[in-house]
Amino acid sequence: MLLVGLSIGTTFLISAWLTRGLIAPPSALWVLDHPNRRSLHELPRQRTGGLAILSSFLVGALLSTWVGQSAWAGEGLVAATSGLVSWESLALGVAVLLVATVSFWDDRWGVPPLLRLAVQVVATVSVLVTGLGLNDVPVPMVGTLSLGVFALPVTLLFVLWMSNLFNFMDGMDGLAAGMAVFGFVCLGMIVFAHGSLELALLCGLLAAASGGFLVSNLPPALLFMGDVGSVSLGFLVAVLALRAIQQGACDIWVPVLVFSPFIVDTTVVLARRLLRGARLWEAHREHAYQRLVLSGWSHQRTLRAEYCLMMASGVAAVIYASAAGELARVVVLVTVALGYAALLVGVSRVEVVRHGRKMHGQV
> Are 221 and 172 a contacting pair, CB within 8 Å?
no
pLDDT digit string, tens, across residues 44-56 = 678 889 999 999 9
In whole angstroms, give the CA distance from residue 67 to residue 82.
10
The pLDDT assigned to 89 comes to 66
Tell me if 38 is assigned to some domain: yes
Tell me if 197 is assigned to some domain: yes
The pLDDT assigned to 27 comes to 62
Tell me if 300 is assigned to some domain: no
Tell me if 352 is assigned to some domain: no
Tell me if 177 is assigned to some domain: yes
In whole angstroms, give the CA distance from residue 253 to residue 135.
14
- Count CB neighbours of 326 within 10 A: 14
pLDDT digit string, tens, across residues 291-347 = 999 999 999 999 999 999 999 999 999 999 999 899 999 999 999 999 999 999 999
Tell me if 309 is assigned to some domain: no
How many distinct structural domains can be found in the chain? 1
Tell me if 269 is assigned to some domain: no
Sequence-separated (6 or more) residues with CB below 8 Å from residue 72: 3, 78, 81
Nearest to 203 by CA among 179, 184, 218: 184
The pLDDT assigned to 73 comes to 47
User: By residue range, what is the domain housing residue 234?
Assistant: 2-259
Tell me if 317 is assigned to some domain: no
Sequence-separated (6 or more) residues with CB below 8 Å from residue 115: 102
Query: Is the predicted pLDDT of residue 103 greater than 50, yes or no?
Result: yes
